Amino acid sequence: MFKKRSQQSVIDEWQRYQAQQAIACANPILQRFYQMPLTDPEVPLSEVSFMALDFETTGLDPRYNEIVSFGLVPFTLRSIRPSDGYYQVVKPKCNLSEESIAFHRITHSQVATAPPLEKVLDELLERLSGCIVVVHYQHIERPFLDLACHKLWGEHCLFPLVDTMAIEARWERRGWKNQLKETLGIQPVSIRLDDSRQRYGLPTYSAHHAKVDAMATAELFLAQVARHYSPTTAIGQLWE
């Protein structure tokens, strides 16, 4: 009972925020983004258009680090369509460190020819518009995107999204059994993308790449819905 009310307050807050942004935003791109009505939180999962999103960044802190590339893969509960996805490398303002180049397997020459984020941000928002965004670990995608918009246009860009890591935490880290384990000092299970996927029998992918991770996140979400929810679950219940 208590839980339901708290999720309801999350939903209420997002609806208020959306209404407020639709009026307040001065930037035409954000204006367009917020004038698209928010998906009704009562709509069942089976009728929602989702967009899996993944950023590769130079680090974890949006104040000092930047987006290097992003990948998008559209899907519904019925199926994922990888070939309709989108991938973009972005030129950061500062130089890429050697480590992050090795990590993302993105090269100097590739970054050199890539457009800066401001050139592709509208394209990104355009593609997200009208979809429910699904990420694994909201504390990367959400603050990086928000801060990028704020730096560029002086306005915020936040919206409800689904976080497969939060869902995993909800099922693997809560409940009295897990609490008991925690009290006993037993290591909780990992909820990283690859480890979570393994619990649902999903394959391991080799590449570390924004679009591969977006596809992997979409697959994980389908698996989570199949195991823990139902096609009739209201989308608002999963908003973060």
Partner 1 sequence: MEAELREIRDHLSLHPPFDKLLDDLLDDVVGNIEITYFKAGSMILNRGQSIDALSYIRSGAVETYHYNGELYNRLEEGDIFGQFGLLRQGKVRFPVKAIEDTLLYQIPKTIFDRLCDNDSFADFVELSGSRLKNTIDESLRENDMMTTRVRKLISRLPLMVEITVSIQEAARLMTENVVSSVLLIEPADEEDSDGVFRGDDGGLWRLKGMVTDEDLRSQVVAAGVQTDRPVGQLSDGRLITIQSDESVNEAMLMMLRNHIQRLPVLHRRRPVGVLHLSDIVRYETNSSLYLASNIFSRNSVRDLSRLIPEIRAAFIRLVDDGSNAKMIGDAMSSIGRSLMRRLIELAEDELGPAPIPYCFMVHGSLARHEQSVITDQDNALVLHDSFDPEHHDEYFKMLAKKVSDGLDACGYEYCKGGIMATNEQWRQPLAQWRRYFDEWIADPDPQRLLHSCIFFDLDAVYGEEYLVENLQDMIATKARYNPRFLGAMARNASNRRPPLGFFRTFVMETDGRQHKVINIKGRGLAPITDVIRVHALAVGSKAQNSAERLRDIEQANILPAGQVDKLQYALEFIALVRMRHQAFELRNDQAIDNAIEPENIDTAERHNLKEAFQVVNNAQNFLPYRYPYSA
Cβ proximity to partner 1: between 105 and 119 the closer is 105
Q: How far is the CB of 100 from partner 1 (least distance, A)?
A: 12
H/E element holding 141?
Answer: helix 138-153
Which two structure tokens, joined as six digits, stand for 166?
A: 């939060």
Shortest approach of partner 1 to residue 166 CB, angstroms? 19
Tell how far CA 133 is from the center of its chain: 6
Smallest gap from residue 198 Cβ to partner 1 (A)? 10
Q: Which is nearer to partner 1, 4 or 78 (CB)?
A: 78
For partner 1, the closer CB: 154 or 203: 203
Rg (CA), the chain: 18
Q: What is the rounded distance in angstroms from the CA atom of residue 112 to the CA atom of residue 90? A: 9
184-211 as b/e, with b when 16 or more CB fall inside 10 Å? eeeeebebebeebbebeebeeeeeebbb
Q: Between 104 and 136, whose beta carbon lies closer to partner 1?
A: 104
Give the strand pairing for 132-135 and 86-89: unpaired
Compute the least distance from the CB of residue 89 to partner 1, in Å.
Answer: 6
The CB-of-107 to partner 1 minimum distance in angstroms stands at 5
Identify the H or E element spanning 71. strand 67-75
Under a CB-based contact definition with an 8 Å cutoff, are residues 74 and 222 in contact? no
Q: Which residues bind partner 1 (CB under 8 A)?
A: 69, 71, 73, 75, 78-83, 85, 87, 89, 104-110, 113, 200-203, 205-207, 209, 211-212, 214-215, 218-219, 222-223, 226-227
Closer to partner 1 by Cβ: residue 142 or 211: 211
